[in-house]
Amino acid sequence: MDKRTKLDLQKKATQIRKYIIEEVFSAKSGHPGGSLSCTDIFTTLYFAEMNVDTKNPKDPNRDRFVLSKGHCAPALYATLAVKGFFPEEDLYTFRKVDSYLEGHPNMTYVPGVDMSTGSLGQGISTAVGMALAGKIDKKDYRVYSILGDGEIEEGQVWEAAMAGAHYKLDNLTAFVDYNGLQIDGNITDVMNPEPIADKFAAFGWNVISVDGHDHEQIKNAIETAKTVKGKPTMVVCHCVKGKGVSFMENNYAWHGTAPNQEQRDQAISELDALMAKIDKEIAEEA
Amino acid sequence: MGKVATREAYGKALAEFGADERIIVLDADLSKSTKTDTFKKVYPERHFNMGIAEGNMMSVAAGLASTGKIVFASTFAIFAAERACEQIRNAICYPKLNVKVCATHAGLTVGEDGASHQCIEDLAVMRALPNMLVLSPCDEIETKLAIKAAIEHDGPVYVRLGRLGVEAVHDPDTFKFEVGKGVEIKEGTDLTIVATGLMVQESLKAAEILAEKGINARVIDMHTIKPIDTEILVKAAKETGLIVTVEEHNITGGLGGAVCEALSQNYPCKVKMIGVEEKFGKSGTPAALLEKYGLNAEAIAEKILAAKEA
């Protein structure tokens, strides 16, 4: 990945992070921590990988995406809006009663959303279903899904893992947002799901571990997954919950809490400073 | 004519209508019992065993349906409607996906496996879900036509099927099936029995017993539990007075509940509800269980006589 591409992706990611803060601030509720955590996975998928068409969101040959950790809808919506599926100003209606941007994603009325999710553990199963359909129809689309590291405490995730390996779904690539925190605290204290990579490997998946904030590493993992035949791939992404906003980083209190005006202002000013730094680097690069 | 279980009729119907390549069938290690193996023999490439993991099966069905497939997902009613209830609710009904949950071994007549496997709450649970169509056919031809209707219906469907062989209630050559329309199968003026599933044949026999005592009972086969046919119920209430519901299901929230909801809002009248009376089942032969729980023709007739006199 060349430097300019990296900087462009960083710029997108920073814009998405700003929108995450604005969405949750406007709604006065929502999940900023996990959304900021998985932003770079979204950025890589939608701006460096996935075959999707904002003019034809239901194209039968498109790549699919399932947000298994549906509560990180702010990151999904911000990504889809920046990509052009719907107007960016609609993000400010998030979680409001007449908005189509529900607290958790609804496929029936949000352009670009391929599956309604929110109940943890189910999204990855639906992704298995989509990948199975791709095999049945001999289509070459790929299916992507993001899981939370707390989410994998759900038994259904392992049922889905078994099924994905059993049916040799090498068109399926999933990501675990491994930030180590869930609502009640550290994942290892609440209900330890570790060792995560070893568990998916034992279930018959190809497993790749990456820095979940390094777009190049994420992109390389996606490319490697495409070359692996006969098994699905799990990309274990080492992430920082709340990434990009100093006071939210590594603090589980920000799992499902909205910032107040002062906190929102500070978060936006930190992200603006980061954006200015990226812009400067882009200018120097040119 | 020999008896045919509705699960057998389901397997045959799947094989018969299975040429449609959009149809995908999922099972959870019970394909010989649910009879989806009848489909598998003809279309093995479109039958997928999801193992003993019903929750995952329902969500996988949703994923398949999101790509344009018509997905049939089968297991025993207890594991479909109750173990995987939340998956059916959130992954299938909420996004209104084209999944047909065809649940076999409903009711007490599962028999010897006992209470853990006898689902007597599925109609109540499934009928509470928005977007869900709930069908409960009573014999071979009605099951075949219900499956055809399920294929044609765009959206989620729950079909309640039984293990036990049942008599032919309808004439296979002339029977017309319409979703949401109950079928009057016996005329009558003194009261109306509204039955579903296996209880239709028992209710017809109960009506014969009542006829011997000079009571002329109308019998309605209510194959669609949701949406319930309010029109046929109001007509019956106006013409015959007493309404009796009969179901192989707990007395709470099933057919009886649906009928009471419809009548109380449109034409309040006396309703006698016959079903499993807030108890779990037991091991035993189907016949012994129907007798023990008061759901064979004799017991139904007896309860109706008591209600008539009350």
- What the block records as the tokens of B227 is 């949406």
Report the DSSP pairing between strands B183-186 and B217-221.
Answer: antiparallel
Q: Which two tokens stand for residue A76?
A: 């999904």
ipTM above 0.90, yes or no: yes
CB nearest A125 (choices: B45, B59, B86):
B59
The domain locations on chain A are 3-285
Task: Kindly report the nearest CA distance between residue A123 and chain B, in angstroms.
Answer: 8
- Asked if B199 and B162 touch (Cβ cutoff 8 Å), the reply is no
Q: Could you tell me the two tokens for A229?
A: 């035949």
Cβ-based contacts of A160 with chain B (< 8 Å): 56, 59-60
Enter the pTM of the model: 0.97
Say which CATH superfamily domain A3-285 falls into: Thiamin diphosphate (ThDP)-binding fold, Pyr/PP domains (3.40.50.970)
Helix (H, G, I), strand (E, B), or coil: what is residue B273? strand
Which position among B8, B21, B45, B54 bears the catalytic label? B54
- Quick check: B202 and B293 in contact, CB under 8 A? no
Cα R_g (chain B), whole angstroms:
18
d(CA A12, CA A48): 11
A130 near B CB under 8 A: yes
User: Does residue A108 sit at the B interface (CB-CB below 8 Å)?
Assistant: yes
pLDDT value at position A58?
Answer: 97
What's the one-letter identity of residue A211? D
Which token pair is A154? 């759900």
Name the residue ranges covered by the structural domains of chain B: 4-166, 183-309
CATH class of B4-166: alpha beta
> Is the CB of A135 inside 8 Å of chain B's CB atoms?
no
Contact assignment for B67 to A137 by CB distance below 8 Å: yes
Distance from CA of B270 to the nearest CA of A (A): 42
Distant-in-sequence, close-in-space partners of A242: CB < 8 Å, separation ≥ 6: A32, A33, A36, A37, A248, A249, A250, A251, A254
pLDDT tens per residue, chain A (286 residues)? 999 999 999 999 999 999 999 999 999 999 999 999 999 999 999 999 999 999 999 999 999 999 999 999 999 999 999 999 999 999 999 999 999 999 999 999 999 999 999 999 999 999 999 999 999 999 999 999 999 999 999 999 999 999 999 999 999 999 999 999 999 999 999 999 999 999 999 999 999 999 999 999 999 999 999 999 999 999 999 999 999 999 999 999 999 999 999 999 999 999 999 999 999 999 998 8
Size of interface A-B (CB pairs under 8 A): 106
CB of B23 within 8 Å of a chain A CB? The answer is no
What are the chain B neighbours of A121 within 8 Å (beta carbons)? 55
Structure tokens given for B296? 């064979």
d(CA B72, CA B129): 18
Q: Which residues in chain A touch residue B95, judged by CB atoms under 8 angstroms apart?
A: 106-108, 115-116
CB contact under 8 A, B95 and A125: no
> Phi-psi bin for A42: left (phi > 0), alpha (psi -120 to 50), beta?
alpha
Placement of tokens 């929750």 in the chain: B55
Q: Which of residues 95-124 of B touch A (CB under 8 A)?
A: 95-96
In angstroms, the CA A25 to CA A226 distance is 38
Query: Looking at CA atoms only, how far is residue B44 from chain A in angstroms?
Result: 12
pLDDT digits (tens, 9 = 90+) for B7-45: 999 999 999 999 999 999 999 999 999 999 999 999 999
Residues 197-236 of B with CB under 8 A from A: none
* Cα gap B16→A272, rounded to integer Å: 63
What is the least distance, in Å, from the CA of B90 to any CA of chain A?
A: 7
Name every chain B residue with its beta carbon within 8 A of the beta carbon of A133: 24, 63-64, 67-69
Using the Cβ of B83 and the Cβ atoms of chain A, whether some distance falls under 8 Å is answered with no
CA distances (Å), origin A6, targets A28, A154, A216, B49, B226? 33, 35, 7, 44, 55
B183-309 has the same fold as B4-166 = yes
Reply yes or no on whether the pLDDT at B1 is more than 80: no
B62–chain A nearest CA distance, Å? 6
User: CATH code for B183-309?
Assistant: 3.40.50.920
Contact at CB, B59 and A156, closer than 8 angstroms:
yes
Tell me, what's the pLDDT at B9?
A: 98
Q: How far is B195 from chain A (nearest CA, A)?
A: 36
Q: Do B59 and A107 touch (CB under 8 A)?
A: no
Mutation for testing the A interface, residue in B66, B69, B72, B94 having most A CBs under 10 Å: B66
Using CB atoms, pick whichever of A108, A133, A159 lies closest to residue B95.
A108
Cα–Cα distance measured from residue A162 to residue A148, given in angstroms and rounded to the nearest whole number: 18
Beta strands at B4-5 and B165-166: parallel, antiparallel or unpaired: antiparallel
Burial class of residue A185 (count of CB atoms within 10 Å of its CB; 0-12, 13-18, 19+): middle
> Residues of A with CB below 8 A from B93's CB?
none
CB under 8 Å to B97, separation ≥6 — which residues? Answer: B61, B62, B65, B66, B71, B91, B155, B156
In this structure, are residues A86 and A112 in contact, taking their beta carbons and an 8 Å threshold?
Answer: yes
- Tell me how far apart the alpha carbons of residues B156 and B132 are, in angstroms, rounded to a whole number: 5
Chain B residue numbers touching A159 (CB-CB < 8 A): 51, 53, 55-56
pLDDT tens figures, B177-203 = 999 999 999 999 999 999 999 999 999
Nearest CB neighbour to B60, from listed A114, A118, A129? A129
Task: Flag if B60 and A156 touch (Cβ within 8 Å).
Answer: no
> Which chain A residues in 50-79 lie under 8 Å from chain B, judged by CB atoms?
60, 64, 66
- Residue A118 sits at the chain B interface (C-beta within 8 Å): yes
**Interface probe, candidates A64, A68, A100, A132, chain B, greatest B C-beta count within 10 A:** A132
From chain A residues 220-279, the ones with a CB under 8 A of any chain B CB are none
Q: Which residues of B touch A125 (CB under 8 A)?
A: 55-56, 58-60, 62-63, 87, 91
Measured between beta carbons, which residues in chain B are less than 8 angstroms from residue A114? 66
| Active-site annotation holds for B54 | yes
Contact assignment for B68 to A60 by CB distance below 8 Å: yes
Cis peptide before A57 (omega within 30 of 0): no
Long-range contacts of B267-270 (CB under 8 A, 24+ apart): B267/B233, B267/B234, B267/B237, B267/B238, B269/B237, B269/B241, B269/B242, B269/B243, B270/B241, B270/B242, B270/B243
Residue B160 has which token pair? 């309640």
Select the residue of B24, B45, B51 nearest A162 (Cβ to Cβ): B51
pLDDT digits (tens, 9 = 90+) for B133-186: 999 999 999 999 999 999 999 999 999 999 999 999 999 999 999 999 999 999
